[in-house]
Amino acid sequence: MKSFKGRAWFMPQSVIVIGTYNADGTPNAMNAAWSGQWDNDRIMISMGNHQTTANLKANPDFTVAFATTETMVAADYVGVVSGKKVKDKVARTGWKFEQGETVNAPIFTDFPMTLECRIDRKIDESETGCYIVAKILNIRVSEEYLAEDGKPDLEKMHLLTFDPVHLGYLEIGKRVGNAFKDGTQLK
């Protein structure tokens, strides 16, 4: 085995787009990958000092859309372009949006699944950013991405994961097993 210096090569990392409103009411979006599940109904996101961070100080509501192969180019764009410098960056993506059902934040309808969230707490807040823990208040899924059982079909969505080793995006593949079941074969 080859050894590497300690790095944040934790995989997979969902590619998410965080939606907020700017002070003037225009939608803002940023790409993030440093996030994860905090509890059954909460998520955690590591936030730097971004326009999104400023927006969240004014309003604790936001949305989290999961990037797909189809939204990859525009999702990457909102990650490399600062909302502090380009105020209309969402307009440049061509994304359509609507008001969230349970939060005061935009839902970008070009994505198959979106979480509506509200900040529960901030951890280690400083000038350079913080960690936010947020409660998921609602989940919106486009009906074309539902399975026969009425729940989201993740295989249909072509979701992306961030490759921190080679700085790329990978499409999440097919189902290969059953959680909390397949391992019982070894009992």
Q: What pLDDT, on the 0 to 100 scale, is given for residue 104?
A: 98
Instruction: Look up the CATH superfamily of 13-182.
Output: Electron Transport, Fmn-binding Protein; Chain A (2.30.110.10)
In residues, how long is the chain? 187
Give 30-81 pLDDT, tens digit per residue. 999 889 999 999 999 999 999 999 999 999 999 999 999 999 999 999 999 9
Domain ranges of the chain: 13-182
Question: Which of the four pLDDT bands, split at 50, 70 and 90, describes residue 129?
Answer: confident
Give 152-187 pLDDT, tens digit per residue. 999 999 999 999 999 999 999 898 999 999 999 999
